[in-house]
């Protein structure tokens, strides 16, 4: 007898039981299959036999032997019994089939439940991973808060003076000539947090003109109005940092305009005694600014009315200065006020293309003295004669370049009475000169022949009109002069300065400049002209900004627009919890409470380290913005050596694939979030669905909906609760420009501008956000478009949405952009463009692309392969109408006319996720599963 062990015995018993069970199952299956077949065969045979008997097909000798002795009744009974058995078997078969179907449905139901449970397990696991990441990030934030040595700086208290200027003894005349900011300016009235308050003496109440003289009424009215828009203006003289005194342009009390031309050359219009009797003069004019702004008198020495008057410690602001009179970094050279009071000035500008115009170089002017004769006592007269002779020979030389030189004015348009002792007079009218300048690539401007003059009103006026027309100024004698606001403006990027002695090199120098640099000169000139010279408003704002910049006092913050809710203060909108699927296929990042981007952190350092860029490139020195897309980046190792606060490096700096990637934001900037900005118009359900899809989206700070309809939303709407604040903002009127309102509740640098019917997956949104963090100065988004040259007309652009290997625009219906561009759209973009958007109810996205490309000179960045966005349940959109595309053709060409060129740049680049289509080990994850 074989003895099995316990375990082997159990296994043997189990084996026997399994064999028995399998045999039983086989027997049951055989019974269930064979029994119906045998029964069916037998019954069919009996039926055939009864049929044959009934119809006489066979004789009784053919029947079985035992049936020959059965009666007809017995046969009938037997047949009936067989029919009963057949019916019973069929009934059982039907029951068995019914049960089989029920079992099959139950199996399918169980399988479905199993799949649902697997998906739920996956979702719960994803949610758990997301919660773990959130907890880890919260712990890191808590640790940073505990380790922080000093709190964040709050807005400092505004400290201003509270007394009037104290009386001081007047300075000796020689001492005032040596004034600098450190010895002639009272810094105690201008604290770092004062905001630089400016007080304006009312020119009607405090006249400083001699009897019989008055200030130009246009200047008085315009300056009072434009200064009223300046945020630095104060009506309290006790808190003022500086005091503005409007001095010129002086006019005699007469109707004869000709008597007012060059009047100051014969009789000083400024009353020195009236100047010293100003109520806050303080005996020496400390912190006073004397504004002598010429407008009509463009003579060589126009505005030089301070040469015989003691102005004490006052700062002089005018267009004309001599070497002896001008005090470096104390007085200020300005351009004459030749522009309109304010508003759009783009129509004054010429197009920046073509780069090479009809004339390579032009000049219109005539050197005369008051008696019409050239004087010989000036040391530069021989050199000037040589210059004129050389230029005349140059214009007659055999060259492909065309020159236009006019050294003798037409008597009918002679303006030689507007000159000083000796200088170049303007020829022709303003309109005739403008037409020549628009045909000139360069324009020649002569420095004053009087060698001790470093600036004249005539010189500044000629630079002004050259920049207005897009002609590049070439100043002969440029080593002698200074241009307006030269302490902050880099004029070498706008003007070519050439010493008189190098006149023979002029043609070679101009020919050596390629088209790219020509357009850089022209573009920079237009930028400076529009920002600082083009209007009375810009001139006055620039004067205040330069004086404030000297003291390192930050400008006033740019005004944001108040976000007014569509609901009143007592109404609480209904909210409903979302229980459906919110795209949790993968863990994409932590769910955190709203974290606002730090703002105004560089108030007191921005102008110190990036002052030249602010004045000459992308900045706006007249306003202070919360953040800029061009803010500097720390080195990679700084986040690990002393400056790690806020940074979330991937894998704590070790890097990693998908898992570590999802746990940390990484990149070159500290942690941040983004705001979704939605524009909607009477598509309530579409809007609610779009908001609901944002539930569970990592790094989402808030959702701001601009309600563009005059009809308020239905009070019964059930707004989805997505875990972050949702603000419904009422628009003043229905306008597509409202898409870019710089609202005060936009608390992050990153803004995701989205149409209410756009459907983006969470991973697509977060991928776009991560790409934008590396291209903060650009538009980063999904739908790409391009501007195509019209080969039929050969003089216009077409808007194109076809598939292409190049693009130049990313539509803001689904794109990230920096909050700073919302301010620029409303504060800097010409009003004519916003008016065109309202006229067509179209093209606001094209306008934003024009703006960003113009500021950065970079194309947008397209992410992933998505091109269009469909919304099957939405009403018909405007973009489906053919007129929509026709209007967009017109918009591109009109915007190009306003900008003077087409700033859009082509790109053949698209951003896809790292590790996209890359084979990686099985224990690693890609950055994004589907991107």
Sequence-separated (6 or more) residues with CB below 8 Å from residue 354? none
- Three-state DSSP state, 404: strand
- How many Cβ atoms sit within 10 Å of the Cβ of residue 767? 25
**Interhelix angle 844-856/882-899, nearest 10 degrees:** 30
CA 864 to CA 768: how far, in whole Å?
Answer: 8
Q: Tell me, yes or no, if 845 is annotated catalytic.
A: yes
- Residue 154 near residue 291 (C-beta atoms within 8 A): no
246 and 364, same structural domain?
A: no
Q: What CATH number should be reported for the domain holding residue 512? A: 3.40.50
Nearest to 818 by CA among 759, 766, 772, 857: 772
Helix (H) or strand (E) holding 74: helix 72-147
> Is 577 a member of any domain?
no
Domain count within the chain: 4
Q: Which residues pair with 817 in a beta bridge?
A: 751
CA quadruple 676, 910, 903, 614: dihedral, nearest 10: 60
530 and 469, same structural domain?
A: yes
- Residue 429 near residue 414 (C-beta atoms within 8 A): no
Q: Say what the pLDDT of residue 60 is.
A: 44
- Tokens 């049951």 -> residue: 28
Q: Say what the pLDDT of residue 2 is.
A: 40
Q: Return phi, psi of residue 437, to 5°.
A: -65, -35
> Is 571 a member of any domain?
no
Q: Say what the pLDDT of residue 418 is.
A: 45
- CA geometry: angle 903, 905, 356, nearest 5 deg: 60
> For residue 294, how far is the Cα from the chain centroid?
37
> Is 650 a member of any domain?
no
Token reading at 311: 């102005």
Q: What CATH number should be reported for the domain holding residue 678? A: 3.90.550.10
Q: Return phi, psi of residue 786, to 5°.
A: -150, 160
Over 13-66, what HEC string results?
HHHHHHHHHHHHHHHHHHHHHHHHHHHHHHHHHHHHHHHHHHHCCCCHHHCCHH
CA 128 to CA 749: how far, in whole Å?
Answer: 29
Nearest to 746 by CA among 674, 827, 849: 674
CA 489 to CA 333: how far, in whole Å?
Answer: 12
355 and 316, same structural domain?
A: no
Q: Is 525 exposed, middle or buried (0-12, 13-18, 19+ CB in 10 A)?
A: buried
520 and 391, same structural domain?
A: yes
- Taking each continuous run of H as one helix and of E as one strand, the counts in the chain are 21, 28
Token reading at 64: 């079985």
- Residue 472 near residue 503 (C-beta atoms within 8 A): no
Catalytic residue among 344, 845, 912, 923: 845
- Three-state DSSP state, 73: helix
CA 248 to CA 261: how far, in whole Å?
Answer: 13
Residues spanned by the domain of 421: 346-534
State pLDDT tens for residues 704-757.
999 999 998 888 888 999 989 999 999 999 999 999 999 999 999 999 999 998
Q: Say what the pLDDT of residue 14 is.
A: 58
Separation in Å, CA 477 to CA 301, 369, 384, 449, 481:
17, 19, 10, 9, 7
867 and 818, same structural domain?
A: yes
468 and 605, same structural domain?
A: no
State pLDDT tens for residues 359-389.
999 998 877 654 444 443 343 567 778 888 8
Q: Are strands 315-318 and 332-333 parallel, antiparallel or unpaired?
A: parallel
613 and 726, same structural domain?
A: yes
CA 718 to CA 726: how far, in whole Å?
Answer: 13
CA 310 to CA 169: how far, in whole Å?
Answer: 13
Token reading at 24: 């039983």
Q: Say what the pLDDT of residue 804 is.
A: 86
825 and 876, same structural domain?
A: yes
Q: Say what the pLDDT of residue 43 is.
A: 58
> For residue 641, how far is the Cα from the chain centroid?
32
Token reading at 356: 């090479």
Residue at a domain's end among 333, 368, 396: 333
- CA geometry: angle 130, 133, 139, nearest 5 deg: 145
849 and 809, same structural domain?
A: yes
- Residue 416 near residue 434 (C-beta atoms within 8 A): no
Say which DSSP state 565 is in.
Answer: B
> Is 842 a member of any domain?
yes
**pLDDT-flagged residues of the chain (< 70):** 1-26, 28-37, 39-70, 148-155, 210-214, 249-269, 296-304, 343-344, 368-381, 411-424, 570-571, 579-585, 866-881
Q: Is 292 exposed, middle or buried (0-12, 13-18, 19+ CB in 10 A)?
A: buried
Residue at a domain's end among 510, 534, 558: 534
| CA dihedral sign, ordered 38, 44, 47, 48 | negative
- Three-state DSSP state, 99: helix
- How many Cβ atoms sit within 10 Å of the Cβ of residue 899? 23
- How many Cβ atoms sit within 10 Å of the Cβ of residue 617? 16
- Residue 639 near residue 663 (C-beta atoms within 8 A): no
- Residue 899 near residue 851 (C-beta atoms within 8 A): no
> Is 553 a member of any domain?
no
- How many Cβ atoms sit within 10 Å of the Cβ of residue 405? 17
Q: Return phi, psi of residue 648, to 5°.
A: -130, 75
285 and 396, same structural domain?
A: no
DSSP, residue by residue, 369-400: ETTSS--SSSTTHHHHHHHHHHHHHHHHSS-S
> Is 580 a member of any domain?
no
> Is 661 a member of any domain?
no
> Is 476 a member of any domain?
yes
Q: Is the peptide bond before 249 cis (omega within 30 degrees of 0)?
A: yes
- Residue 743 near residue 729 (C-beta atoms within 8 A): yes
- How many Cβ atoms sit within 10 Å of the Cβ of residue 633? 11
508 and 455, same structural domain?
A: yes
CA 268 to CA 252: how far, in whole Å?
Answer: 11
CA quadruple 408, 414, 420, 422: dihedral, nearest 10: 10
689 and 622, same structural domain?
A: yes
Q: Is the peptide bond before 354 cis (omega within 30 degrees of 0)?
A: yes
CA 190 to CA 196: how far, in whole Å?
Answer: 6
Q: Say what the pLDDT of residue 419 is.
A: 41
């Amino acid at each position: 007898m074989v003895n099995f062990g316990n375990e082997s015995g159990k296994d043997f018993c189990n084996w026997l039981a399994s064999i028995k069970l399998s045999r039983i199952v086989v027997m049951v299956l055989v019974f269930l299959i064979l029994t119906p077949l045998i029964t069916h065969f037998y019954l069919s045979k009996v039926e055939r036999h009864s049929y044959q008997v009934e119809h006489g097909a066979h004789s009784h000798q053919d029947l079985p032997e035992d049936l020959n002795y059965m009666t007809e009744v017995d046969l009938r009974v037997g047949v009936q019994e067989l029919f009963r058995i057949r019916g019973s078997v069929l009934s059982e078969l039907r029951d068995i089939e019914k049960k089989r179907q029920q079992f099959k449905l139950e199996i399918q139901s169980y399988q479905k439940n199993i799949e649902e449970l697997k998906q739920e397990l996956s979702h719960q696991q994803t949610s758990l991973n997301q919660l773990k990441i959130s907890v880890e990030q919260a712990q890191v934030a808590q640790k940073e808060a505990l380790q922080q040595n000093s709190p964040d700086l709050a807005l400092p208290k505004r400290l201003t003076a509270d007394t009037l200027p104290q009386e001081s003894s007047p300075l000796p005349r020689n001492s005032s000539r040596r004034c600098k900011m450190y010895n002639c300016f009272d810094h105690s009235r201008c604290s770092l947090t004062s905001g630089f308050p400016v007080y304006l003496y009312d020119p009607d109440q405090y006249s400083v003109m001699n009897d019989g003289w008055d200030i130009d009424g246009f200047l008085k009215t315009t300056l009072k109005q434009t200064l009223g828009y300046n945020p630095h203006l104060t009506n309290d003289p006790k808190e003022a940092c500086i005091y503005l005194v409007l001095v010129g342009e002086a006019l005699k009390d007469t109707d004869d305009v000709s008597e007012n031309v060059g009047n100051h050359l014969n009789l000083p219009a400024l009353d020195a005694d009236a100047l010293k009797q100003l109520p806050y003069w303080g005996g020496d004019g400390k912190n006073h600014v004397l504004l002598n702004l010429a407008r009509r008198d463009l003579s060589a020495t126009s505005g030089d009315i301070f040469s015989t008057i003691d102005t004490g410690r006052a700062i002089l602001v005018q267009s004309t200065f001599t070497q002896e009179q001008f005090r470096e970094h104390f007085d200020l050279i300005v351009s004459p006020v030749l522009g309109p009071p304010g508003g759009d000035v783009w129509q004054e500008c010429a197009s920046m293309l073509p780069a090479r115009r009809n004339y390579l170089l032009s000049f219109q002017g005539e050197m005369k003295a008051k008696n019409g004769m050239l004087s010989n006592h000036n040391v530069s007269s021989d050199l000037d004669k040589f210059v004129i002779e050389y230029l005349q020979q140059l214009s007659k030389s055999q060259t492909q370049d065309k020159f236009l030189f006019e050294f003798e004015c037409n008597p009918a348009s002679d303006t030689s009475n507007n000159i000083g002792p000796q200088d170049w007079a303007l020829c022709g009218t303003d309109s005739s000169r403008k037409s020549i300048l628009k045909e000139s690539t360069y324009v020649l401007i002569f420095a004053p022949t009087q060698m001790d003059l470093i600036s004249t009103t005539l010189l500044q006026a000629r630079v002004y009109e050259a920049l207005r027309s897009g002609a590049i100024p070439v100043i002969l004698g440029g080593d002698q002069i200074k241009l307006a606001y030269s302490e902050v403006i880099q004029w070498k990027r706008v003007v070519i300065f050439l010493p008189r002695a190098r006149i023979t090199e002029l043609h070679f120098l101009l020919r050596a400049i390629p088209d790219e640099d020509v357009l850089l000169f022209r573009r920079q000139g237009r930028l400076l002209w529009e920002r600082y010279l083009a209007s009375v408003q810009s001139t006055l704002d620039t004067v205040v900004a330069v004086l404030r910049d000297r003291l390192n006092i930050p400008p006033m913050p740019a005004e944001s627009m108040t976000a007014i809710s569509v609901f009143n203060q007592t109404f609480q909108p209904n909210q409903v919890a979302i229980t459906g699927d919110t795209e949790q296929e993968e863990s994409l990042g932590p769910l955190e409470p709203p974290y606002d981007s730090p703002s105004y952190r560089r108030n007191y350092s921005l102008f110190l380290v990036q002052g030249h860029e602010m004045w000459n490139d992308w900045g706006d020195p007249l306003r202070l913005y919360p953040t800029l897309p061009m803010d500097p980046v720390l080195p990679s190792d700084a986040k690990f050596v002393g400056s790690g606060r806020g940074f979330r490096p991937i894998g704590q700096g070790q890097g990693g694939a998908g898992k570590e990637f999802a746990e940390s934001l990484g990149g070159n900037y500290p942690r941040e979030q983004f705001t979704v900005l939605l524009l909607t118009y009477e598509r309530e359900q579409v809007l609610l669905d779009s908001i609901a899809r944002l539930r569970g989206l990592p790094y989402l700070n808030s959702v701001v909906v601009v309600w563009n309809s005059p009809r308020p939303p239905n009070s019964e709407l059930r707004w989805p609760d997505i875990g972050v604040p949702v603000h419904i903002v009422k628009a003043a009127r229905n306008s597509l420009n409202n898409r870019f309102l710089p609202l005060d509740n936009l608390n992050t640098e990153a803004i995701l501008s989205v149409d209410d019917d756009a459907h983006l997956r969470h991973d697509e949104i977060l991928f776009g956000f991560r790409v934008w963090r590396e291209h903060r100065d650009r538009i980063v988004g999904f739908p790409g478009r391009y501007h195509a040259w019209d080969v039929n007309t050969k003089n216009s652009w077409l808007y194109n949405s076809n598939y292409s290997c190049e693009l130049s625009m990313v539509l803001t219906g689904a794109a990230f952009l920096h909050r700073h561009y919302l301010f620029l759209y409303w504060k800097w973009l010409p009003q004519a463009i916003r008016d065109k958007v309202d006229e067509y109810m179209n093209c606001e996205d094209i306008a934003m692309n024009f703006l960003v490309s113009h500021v950065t000179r970079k194309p947008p960045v397209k992410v992933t392969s998505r091109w269009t966005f469909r919304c099957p349940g939405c009403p018909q959109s405007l973009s489906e109408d053919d007129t929509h595309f026709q209007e967009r053709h017109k918009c591109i060409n009109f915007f190009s006319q306003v900008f003077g060129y087409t700033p859009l740049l082509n790109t053949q680049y698209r951003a896809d996720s790292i590790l996209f289509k890359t084979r990686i080990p099985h224990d690693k994850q890609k950055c994004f599963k589907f991107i």
